[in-house]
């Protein structure tokens, strides 16, 4: 494979020159040659939008820093597979991306820096706790957006300070994301770590993700569902995940189906939820396997001084599964079925929460070998259920160890709960409402 060093195309490592023309020339030359490796050498290279192409590897050498420009004139809107449609409204354009290509790789021990530290501002809107989402600048591009890529690989690189979504993959097939580090502001709004959207055959492994919004989000947005069909066959393993939202989120965008997802052998580091699964838009989420997680979940402060302002979703639930309606909508929310959860050892502030509705019950949910320690860990009081986004929203409720509403086929085996120190746990082990065929074995342990 031939190398194409961006210095040979006029790139300057001064941290101020827009090197997008030089980098794009190197990418084009590599593609025209039938494939090649575009080298980002050591140094700080500022750049506007760059579009990667088939059979091109963008390789960041040790000491290389590729900086995203934050100037609107340097950032392109993302032209999707539909020529009459762009995704510019999804975060103000993109920094690195590709569409309709194959065999695209981003590799190396260098850093891609979205400069999110320049777009998030702490205005002390949570009564001095300094935990709520920060205020964001109006213009902030997403770091990466790749649509309809077959054989897409991202390995070894560090992705730092994303201003919006970090790695969004839409309609991609045969994807490998391995051994990368995502180091974002953990109070940054909308700075999700990895977003597979209507993707198929995806392996995410060995990653360290530290971010504010959800660490890994599997979704089926409306435009991508219409183009590429369901999200399916996705496995996530051996990761360390910190977020002020969910470590793994499935939904809430469920315009299409999501199926065959595994999530296991991971550390959950002070997230608001370990796992959250939603249907809201009519899709089916099925065949989900969650296993062998350790860590802690807790509640974070919201933006109290701004009425109606968004906060973090979640109140410290280890597992959250929800099928209900969005506020103001009367559509059928969708189906969640065949979800198995086993071998979780988590410290939590709230309960395992499983909630459908009478006309869209959860189906075939199993919990096994769950070891739950209820302990107050954060700065906020408990006693709330959080079903955002929905007509139910957030409301006071006692906190049992397990809450289940409208679940048909609930199996709970060999599960334990204990209190340690201060806790919002009511002492009630289970609270079941409108559940059919429920077999529950969950015991309180004393320490």
Give per-residue pLDDT as tens, 283-327: 999 999 999 999 999 999 998 877 766 689 999 999 999 999 999
In order of their start, the domains of the chain are: 1-244 (2.160.20.10), 274-447 (no CATH)
The C-alpha angle with vertex 116 and arms to 111 and 121, in degrees rounded to 5, equals 150
- What confidence score (pLDDT) does residue 344 get? 98
Nearest in space to 208 (alpha carbons), one of 179, 231, 176 = 179
Query: How far from chain centre, in Å, is Cα 307?
Result: 26
Place of tokens 């040979």: 8
CA-CA distance, 135 to 130, in Å (whole number)?
12
CA-CA distance, 189 to 201, in Å (whole number)?
28
- What confidence score (pLDDT) does residue 377 get? 96
HSE-up of 138 (CA within 13 Å, CB side)? 1
The C-alpha angle with vertex 298 and arms to 293 and 303, in degrees rounded to 5, equals 140
Dihedrals phi, psi of 213, to nearest 5 degrees: -80, 180
The Cα-based distances of 201 to 73, 100, 115, 430 in angstroms read 36, 17, 31, 37
Would you tell me how many other CB atoms lie within 10 Å of the CB of residue 327? 10
Please give the chain's pLDDT, 447 residues, in tens.
799 999 999 999 999 999 999 999 999 999 999 999 999 999 999 999 999 999 999 999 999 999 999 999 999 987 655 544 444 444 469 999 999 999 999 999 999 999 999 999 999 999 999 999 999 999 999 999 999 999 999 999 999 999 999 999 999 999 999 999 999 999 999 999 999 999 999 999 999 999 999 999 999 999 999 999 999 999 999 999 999 999 999 999 999 999 999 999 999 999 999 999 999 999 999 999 999 999 999 999 998 877 766 689 999 999 999 999 999 999 999 999 999 999 999 999 999 999 999 999 999 999 999 999 999 999 999 999 999 999 999 999 999 999 999 999 999 999 999 999 999 999 999 999 999 999 999 999 876
CA-CA distance, 124 to 126, in Å (whole number)?
6
The Cα-based distances of 63 to 2, 58, 59, 110, 370 in angstroms read 21, 15, 12, 6, 43
DSSP 400-445: -SEEEESEEEEEEEEEEEEE-SS--B-S--EEEES-EEEEEEEEE-
The C-alpha angle with vertex 336 and arms to 334 and 339, in degrees rounded to 5, equals 170
Nearest in space to 169 (alpha carbons), one of 142, 201, 140, 199 = 199
Contact between residue 26 and residue 4 where contact means Cβ atoms under 8 Å apart = yes
Q: How many helices (H) and strands (E) in the chain?
A: 2, 37
CA-CA distance, 286 to 288, in Å (whole number)?
6
Contact between residue 210 and residue 180 where contact means Cβ atoms under 8 Å apart = no
Contact between residue 45 and residue 64 where contact means Cβ atoms under 8 Å apart = yes
CA-CA distance, 218 to 14, in Å (whole number)?
38
Query: Residue 110 corresponds to which tokens in the numbers above?
Result: 């260098």
Nearest in space to 185 (alpha carbons), one of 217, 149, 209, 151 = 209
């Amino acid at each position: 494979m031939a190398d194409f060093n961006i210095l040979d195309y006029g790139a300057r490592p001064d941290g101020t020159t827009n090197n997008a023309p030089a980098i794009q020339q190197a990418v084009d030359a590599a593609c025209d040659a039938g494939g090649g490796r575009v080298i980002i050498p050591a140094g700080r290279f500022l750049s506007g939008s760059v579009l990667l192409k088939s059979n091109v590897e963008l390789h960041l050498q040790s000491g290389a820093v590729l900086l995203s420009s934050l100037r609107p004139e340097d950032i392109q809107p993302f032209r999707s597979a539909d020529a009459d449609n762009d995704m510019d409204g999804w975060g103000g354009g993109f920094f690195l991306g590709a569409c309709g290509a194959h065999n695209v790789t981003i590799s190396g021990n260098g850093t891609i820096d979205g400069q999110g530290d320049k777009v998030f501002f702490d205005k002390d809107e949570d009564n001095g706790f300094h935990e709520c989402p920060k205020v964001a600048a109006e213009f902030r591009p997403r770091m990466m957006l790749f649509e309809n890529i077959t054989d897409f690989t991202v390995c070894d690189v560090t992705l730092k300070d994303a201003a919006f979504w970090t790695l969004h993959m839409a309609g991609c097939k045969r994807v490998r994301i391995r051994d990368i580090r995502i180091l974002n502001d953990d109070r940054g709004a909308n700075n999700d770590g990895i977003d597979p959207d209507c993707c198929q055959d995806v392996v995410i492994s060995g990653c360290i993700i530290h971010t504010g919004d959800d660490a890994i989000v599997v979704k089926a947005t409306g435009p991508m569902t219409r183009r590429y069909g369901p999200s399916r066959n996705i496995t996530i393993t051996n990761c360390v995940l910190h977020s002020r939202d969910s470590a793994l989120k499935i939904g809430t965008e469920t315009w299409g189906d999501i199926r065959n997802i595994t999530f296991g052998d991971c550390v959950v580091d002070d997230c608001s939820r370990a796992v959250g699964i939603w249907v809201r838009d009519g899709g089916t989420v099925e065949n989900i396997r969650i296993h062998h997680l350790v860590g802690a979940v807790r509640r974070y402060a919201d933006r109290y001084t701004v009425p109606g302002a968004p906060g973090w979703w979640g109140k410290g639930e280890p597992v959250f599964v929800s099928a209900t309606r969005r506020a103001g909508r009367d559509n059928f929310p969708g189906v969640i079925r065949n979800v198995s959860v086993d071998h979780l050892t988590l410290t939590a502030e709230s309960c395992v929460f499983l909630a459908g509705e009478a006309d869209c019950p959860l189906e075939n949910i199993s919990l096994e070998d769950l070891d739950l320690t209820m302990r107050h860990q954060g700065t906020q009081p408990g006693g709330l259920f959080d079903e955002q986004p929905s007509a139910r929203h957030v409301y006071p409720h006692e906190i049992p160890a397990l809450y289940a509403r409208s679940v048909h086929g609930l199996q709970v085996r060999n599960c334990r709960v204990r209190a340690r120190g201060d806790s919002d746990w009511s002492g009630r082990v289970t609270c079941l409402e409108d559940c059919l065929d429920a077999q529950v074995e969950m015991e309180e342990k004393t320490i």
